[in-house]
Amino acid sequence: MDVRPNEMFAERQGEDMSNSTLLWPTLKQLRHRYELMVRMMQKRGVGISGARRVDGGLAFLEACAKCRYCLHEEECRRWLTIRAPRRSPDFCPNTAFFRLALSAD
């Protein structure tokens, strides 16, 4: 069977590929999510040096990956518009990491 890479993921007639956006974010989504992570770190008072100290930097890489594939982009964007939030958002998979990074700073 001779299959070219660009044909492997091409939408075939009658097949629904609507869930593929959940698994593979677009470049635009990746940029937006990176910006959201930077804004979230700033809002929580987390410095990049403290973030990179947690678990020898591995926790920071894991937090970036969690953010990259997070399904709460809109909630995050709305939460970041709150002037003085009382606590970290419940939906954020990096809440515990941000707390650790704050203590490492």
What pLDDT shows up at residue 86? Answer: 76
State both tokens at 78: 């709305």
State both tokens at 92: 């954020």
Residues in the chain: 105
- What are the CB-based long-range contacts (under 8 Å, 24+) for 47-53? 47/101, 47/105, 49/105, 50/101, 50/102, 50/103, 50/104, 50/105, 51/97, 51/101, 51/104, 53/101, 53/104, 53/105
Provide the angle, in degrees to the nearest 10, between the axes of the packed helices 95-104 and 27-44: 50
Q: What tens digit of pLDDT does each residue of 54-103 get?
A: 999 999 999 999 999 898 999 999 999 988 877 888 999 999 999 999 98
User: Which pLDDT band holds residue 4 (cuts at 50, 70, 90)?
Assistant: low
The larger pLDDT score, comparing residue 18 to residue 28, is at: 28
* Gap between the Cα atoms of 53 and 60, Å rounded: 8
Instruction: Please classify residue 73 by burial: count the beta carbons closer than 10 Å to its beta carbon, then call 0-12 exposed, 13-18 middle and 19+ buried.
Output: middle
Overall pTM surpassing 0.85 (yes/no): no
The larger pLDDT score, comparing residue 45 to residue 18, is at: 45
